Amino acid sequence: MSSPPPSYGLSLGPLAVPDPIMGSASLAGWSQHSATDTDDVSQVTDAFSVEEKQQFDLAKKLGQRLDDLTLERDRTQRQVQVEQQQLNQLNKSQPKRPRDTKSVLQQRAKQLERDRVSRSMPLSQEKSLIRQIDGIKKSLRMHTQADQHQQTIYRKKAEMAKARELLKTLNAQVAEMEKVLSKVDLAEKLNCTPADIVMREIDCPIKLLQYVSGADGSNVRAIERKCSVDISIDKIRAKIRVQGSTSACIEAIQELKHYTCAVDMEITPNSDVFTYLLSRQSAPLNAIKESHPEVIIDVWANISRIKLRGHPTNVDAAKVAFESLAVTSQTRPLSGSREVHLVIGKTGEILRETSEKHMVIMDVTKGSSEKCTLRIIGLSPNVEEAMAEINFKLHANEQVQDHVMVDSLLREELLSNSGAAIKGFQNSVSQVISGDGEVSVATSVLLQFEKNESPRNSASKSKLVIKASRTNIERAKSLVTKKIAHLETMILVVNIDAEMIPIVIGKGGSTMRELRQEGQGALIETTPENTIKIYSTDEGTRNTIECKIYEIIARNQVGYVEIDKNTIGILLGEPGKEVRETCKELGCDINVSKDDTKVVIRGTVEKIEESSEVIKEFLAKNHVDGMSFDPEDEPVLRMGGKDSILSTVAKEYGVINNLRRERNTLQIRGEADKVKAAIKDVQTFLNGGEGNIVVKFKVPGEALGGVIGKGGSNIAKLETEFDGARIHIAREGHVVSIRGPEENVKKCRSKMLTDIATTRVIDSIDGLSDEKFNELSNSDFMRRTSRFTNASITLSENSIRIRGISGDVRDAKASINEHLTGTYRAFIDLEGSQTERVKNASERDSSHFDRIKATAGAVIDIEAFAVVISGKKSNVKKAKHQLMEWLGFILGNELRSLKIHRALYKPMSNPEQLANIANETGACISLDRDMSCILVRSEDPARSGEALQLLEGMLVETKKRNLLVKFETADTWLLSIIVGKGGATIKKLEQDSNCRFDIIKEEVTVVISGETEDIVQSGKAAVDEIVDQARKECIFTDIPESAMSAFIGKGGSGIKKFSSDNQVKMERINKLHSGTIKITGKEENVATARDAVVAWVMEWEASNEGISVDIDERIIPVVIGKGGETIRRIQKETGCKLDINRQQSTITAREGGSDNARKEAVSKVQTIIDEEMIQIAKRTAEKEQAEKARASVRSKSTENGGSEAPAGTTMKPPVTVSAGVKDRSSEFASKPVGWAPVNDQKKNGKSKKETKHVVNKLTRNRLLSDENISCEKDESGQLVYFYASPLGFSVQLDVQFDEEN
Q: What digits encode the pLDDT tens for the residues 970-986?
A: 788 888 888 888 888 88
3-state SS of 1277-1301?
A: CCEEEEEECCCCCEEEECCCCCCCC
pLDDT above 60 for 1231: no
Predicted local distance difference test score (pLDDT) of residue 31: 32
How many other CB atoms sit within 10 Å of the CB of residue 1169?
Answer: 19
pLDDT digits (tens, 9 = 90+) for 346-379: 778 888 888 888 888 888 888 766 678 888 888 8
Using DSSP, state whether 694 is helix, strand or coil: strand
From CA 920, how far away is CA 747, in angstroms rounded?
10
Using the predicted structure, report yes or no on whether residue 697 has a pLDDT greater than 80: no
Query: Is pLDDT larger for residue 570 or for residue 281?
Result: 570
**Neighbour-count burial of 496, counting CB atoms closer than 10 A to its CB (0-12 exposed, 13-18 middle, 19+ buried):** middle
**Of residues 687, 1255, 743, 699, the one with CA closest to residue 924:** 699
Whether residue 552 has pLDDT greater than 50 = yes
Higher per-residue pLDDT: 734 or 1092:
1092
How many C-beta atoms surround the C-beta of residue 490 within 10 A?
18
Tell me how far apart the alpha carbons of residues 383 and 376 are, in angstroms, rounded to a whole number: 6
CB-based burial of residue 722 (10 Å sphere; 0-12 exposed, 13-18 middle, 19+ buried)? buried
- Asked which of 851-865, 923-937, 1237-1251 is least confident by mean pLDDT, the reply is 1237-1251
Question: Closest by alpha carbon to 115, among 105, 125, 106, 124?
Answer: 125
Around 341, how many Cα atoms within 13 Å sit in the side-chain half-sphere?
A: 12
Number of H helices, E strands in the chain: 47, 47
Q: Is the pLDDT of residue 1025 over 70?
A: yes
Counting every residue, how long is the chain? 1301
3-state helix, strand, coil in the chain (%, to 5): 55, 20, 25
Which residues, in sequence order, are bridge partners of residue 559? 601
Sheet strands side by side (includes 1269-1273) = 1269-1273, 1279-1284, 1290-1293
Q: Do residues 927 and 917 make contact, with C-beta atoms less than 8 angstroms apart?
A: no
pLDDT for residue 1197: 44
First-last CA distance in the chain: 161
Query: DSSP of 935-991, one letter per residue?
Result: EEE-SSHHHHHHHHHHHHHHHHHHHHHEEEEE--GGGTHHHHHHH-GGGHHHHHHHH
Q: What is the C-alpha to C-alpha distance for residues 634 and 222, in angstroms, rounded to an integer?
A: 116
- Residue 411 pLDDT > 70, yes or no? yes
**CB neighbour burial string for 799-835, b if at least 16 within 10 angstroms, e if fewer:** ebebbbbbbbbbbbbbbbbbbbeeebbbbbbbbbebb
Give the type of residue at 226: K
Q: What average pLDDT does the structure give for the chain?
A: 78
CA distances from 845 to 752, 829, 862, 890 (A): 36, 22, 15, 12
* Dist CA 781 CA 785 (whole Å): 6
Q: What does the pLDDT read at residue 731? A: 66
In the sheet where 962-966 sits, what is the strand order?
962-966, 1005-1009, 996-1000
Q: Would the pLDDT of 701 be above 50?
A: yes
| Pairing of β 491-495 and β 531-535 | antiparallel
Q: Residue 1208: left (phi > 0), alpha (psi -120 to 50), or beta?
A: left
Largest Cα separation within the chain, whole Å, is 177
Measured in degrees and rounded to the nearest 5, phi and psi for residue 801 equal -110, 125
Dist. CA 455–CA 412, nearest whole Å: 12
User: Three-state SS for 790?
Assistant: coil
Mean of pLDDT values over 289-316: 79
**H or E segment and range at residue 91:** helix 58-92
| Cα dist from 569 to 49, 285, 507, whole Å | 149, 92, 21
pLDDT of residue 681: 83
| pLDDT, mean of residues 1206-1234 | 37
Locate all alpha helices (DSSP H) within 1068-1227, ordered by sequence: 1083-1103, 1116-1120, 1125-1134, 1155-1199
Q: What is the mean pLDDT of residues 31-40?
A: 36
* Mean pLDDT value across residues 697-704: 74
Q: 598 with 592: CB under 8 angstroms?
A: yes
1101 C-beta neighbours (distance < 10 Å), count:
15
Encode 646-661: b = buried (16+ Cβ within 10 Å), e = exposed.
bebbbeebebebeeee
User: Which of these, 732, 526, 506, lies nearest to 631 by C-alpha position?
Assistant: 732
**C-beta of residue 259 within 8 angstroms of C-beta of residue 212:** yes
Task: Using the predicted structure, report yes or no on whether residue 531 has a pLDDT greater than 70.
Answer: yes
State the Cα–Cα distance between residues 188 and 6, nearest whole angstrom: 8
How confident is the model at residue 870, as a pLDDT?
Answer: 93
Residue 450 contacts residue 402 (beta carbons within 8 Å): no
* DSSP-assigned beta bridge partners for residue 1102: none
Percent of the chain with pLDDT over 70: 84
Q: Rounded to 5 degrees, what angle do the CA atoms 706, 711, 715 make?
A: 60
Cα–Cα distance between 291 and 268 in angstroms, integer? 20
Strands (E), 1001-1069: 1005-1009, 1034-1038, 1065-1069
- What pLDDT shows up at residue 868? 92
Run of H or E including 1024: helix 1013-1033
pLDDT band at residue 872 under the 50/70/90 scheme: very high
Q: What is the mean pLDDT of residues 218-238?
A: 83
Q: CA 1130, CA 856: separation in Å to the nearest integer?
A: 39
d(CA 704, CA 1126): 63
- Distance, CA of 407 to chain centre: 58
Per-residue pLDDT reduced to its tens digit, 631-688? 777 778 877 777 788 888 888 888 888 888 788 888 888 888 888 888 888 888 877 7
Is residue 946 within 8 A of residue 1238, CB to CB? The reply is: no
The answer to whether residues 993 and 1042 touch, using CB atoms and an 8 Å cutoff, is: no
3-state secondary structure of 99: coil
Q: What is the DSSP letter of 495?
A: E
